[in-house]
Amino acid sequence: MTQDWPRPSDEEVRAYCEQGFREDRTLSRLLREQAAARPDATALVSPSGRLTYAALDSRVDRLARGLAGLPVRAGERVLVRLPNREEYVLALFALLRVGAVPVPVLPSLGPAEVESLARTSGACALVVADRYGRSDPRAEAVRIAGRLPGVRHVLVAGGPGDSPARPLDALYAPEAGPLEEAASPEDLALLLLSGGTTGTPKLIPRTHADYGYNALASARACGVGPDTVYLAVLPAAHNFTMVSPGLVGVLASGGTVVLCPDPSPTTAFGLVEREGATLTSLVPALLPSWLDEARRTRADLSSLRVLQVGGSRLDEGTARRIGPELGCRLQQVFGMAEGLNNYTPLDAPEDLVCTTQGRPLSPADEVLVVDGDGAPVPPGAPGELLTRGPYTLRGYYRARELDALCFTPDGFYRTGDLVTRSADGDLVVVGRVKDQVNRAGEKIAAVEVEEHLLALPGVRAAAVVGAPDPHLGERSVAFVVAEGPAPTREEVRAAMLRRGAAPHKVPDEVRGVPGLPLTGVGKVDKGSLREREGL
């Protein structure tokens, strides 16, 4: 059988393992060990209540038995589309425990995107919430299952409705003791979504060994231990919230994870006070509302020691307000679902914390900053960041043709990020060479939106670019060449939602233009387009 994705060589894996740069336990075992060490400590707090480590571990066993009975088998992929609720953590670890491969997707994705991911991953089951905002994930999942014969089960957190979907709750087997681990550390653990520059999002293969190392090494770098109370504000399915150090790093270290059902500062501050949260992580776009609310609130935020900010560029002015106004330390995080995580050290001087996006987590992370010809640039000069290391992927899942573009022949991942690196190894993100809009930390592949625009009647050409925005970091602007009058934003919105796209991918602005500037090879020249349009 051909491999589904390229891995590091056996020698490289051996060397990483010998030096402690890969975890030798599965992710579900990390939870099991903490449950043995501190059964009565609080592991998880959510609107459904509180679970001790013993209770969480035993519920994971019971759900895992139910999943195995369906059956969901080791190696099978299961799409998990759940918001920040208890069932997300239970489903995640139960799937890992039976050796199945969760594919966590953001609940805000549109139905067409979910379907495409279910198809690409070859999912055998979909785990969804009974409702999410104004969308109906349960009905969408049932429709997808009807179209994809490989999807055998739709499992619902909450009410199953009267569709053929089943309630996740009904799967819990009676208590029968610990279940044996079905996976080995070097097995595929999860498939994550890439921010993407292609029409169909790419899937990122992560093994137990590399993801566990990512989580635990991050936990060490962020001072996480049994006293940590981590407030998960961003979607739990995001890599930042999962392993940087996130809920996996915190649960693997014996701390407490508090799931915040929405990212508004009022909800979050109430939970910080009630639970004594010590750590949380945000995207920069959330900071203005957090800083505003901090001035008004009477909630006691004094337990908060560290606020991690990452996912998109944090401006220095806002960075400098965090310490004085929120009363906690800032840690910048520059990470990617593909692997590499950079953190500003917790003991770094204020200037460094406020002006850099950190340095690589692992001594085994190899980082190159190169010019357009692939030649390394001197310290301080901008160039594209390439990276290879013990927890960074060597190729996407079932996407060999793309790998040639996204990786160098010797296995370095081309991040598409323009950075500078100081002589001390601190990175600053200065731009991007990938064709993407980073809207409030959500990555949108320009080509994906362009395809939606080109499907509109009368649209001859379209180009989507990011423009600076004080609230979102970047907003998306679509330039459309149309035969008649250009479609309005409302028309674009209605058409995109009809086509099953996520609402956040609808361009923030749609401008009709007579033509688009082209490069010598006939591609849209987005650099000159931006310049011409004054963005």
Residues 354-373 that bind ligand OOB (CB under 6 A): 357
Closest residue to ligand OOB, based on beta-carbon distance? 335
331 binds ligand OOB (CB under 6 A): no
Q: How far is the CB of 97 from ligand OOB (least distance, A)?
A: 24
196 binds ligand OOB (CB under 6 A): no
Q: How far is the CB of 87 from ligand OOB (least distance, A)?
A: 23
311 binds ligand OOB (CB under 6 A): yes
312 binds ligand OOB (CB under 6 A): yes
The Cα 38–Cα 31 span in angstroms is 11
Q: Which of 335, 360, 390, 411 binds ligand OOB (CB under 6 A)?
A: 335
Number of H helices, E strands in the chain: 17, 25
334 binds ligand OOB (CB under 6 A): yes
Residue 345: closest CA among 306, 392, 387, 314 = 306
Burial 156-195 (b: 16+ CB within 10 A, else e): bbbebeeeebbebeebbeeeeeebebbbebbbbbbbbbbb
Q: Which of 34, 197, 244, 356 binds ligand OOB (CB under 6 A)?
A: 244
107 binds ligand OOB (CB under 6 A): no
Say if CB 263 and CB 234 are below 8 A apart. Answer: yes
Provide the β-strand partners of residue 232: 259
* 56 vs 447, beta carbon nearer ligand OOB: 447
Orientation angle between helical segments 137-147 and 111-121, nearest 10 degrees: 40
Q: Which of 46, 84, 332, 476 binds ligand OOB (CB under 6 A)?
A: 332
**Single-letter residue type at 520:** G
Helix/strand/coil percent split, the chain, to 5:
35, 25, 40
249 binds ligand OOB (CB under 6 A): no
Listed ranges 33-41, 179-187, 311-319, 394-402: which one lies at the site for ligand OOB (CB under 6 A): 311-319
239 binds ligand OOB (CB under 6 A): yes
Listed ranges 159-167, 252-260, 335-343, 495-503: which one lies at the site for ligand OOB (CB under 6 A): 335-343
Residue 452 falls in which region: left (phi positive, over 0), alpha (psi -120 to 50) or beta: alpha
Q: Which of 336, 367, 369, 497 binds ligand OOB (CB under 6 A)?
A: 336
Q: Which of 7, 22, 313, 475 binds ligand OOB (CB under 6 A)?
A: 313
343 binds ligand OOB (CB under 6 A): no
The Cα 385–Cα 419 span in angstroms is 6
230 binds ligand OOB (CB under 6 A): no
337 binds ligand OOB (CB under 6 A): yes
The Cα 428–Cα 369 span in angstroms is 11
Residue 325: closest CA among 295, 348, 296 = 295
Residues 400-419 that bind ligand OOB (CB under 6 A): 415, 417
The Cα 285–Cα 314 span in angstroms is 9
N- to C-terminal Cα distance for the chain? 49
Listed ranges 25-33, 36-44, 330-338, 487-495: which one lies at the site for ligand OOB (CB under 6 A): 330-338
Q: Which of 5, 213, 240, 391 binds ligand OOB (CB under 6 A)?
A: 240
In the complex, which residues of this chain contact ligand OOB (CB under 6 A)? Answer: 195, 239-240, 244, 310-313, 332-337, 341, 357, 415, 417, 429, 432, 438, 443
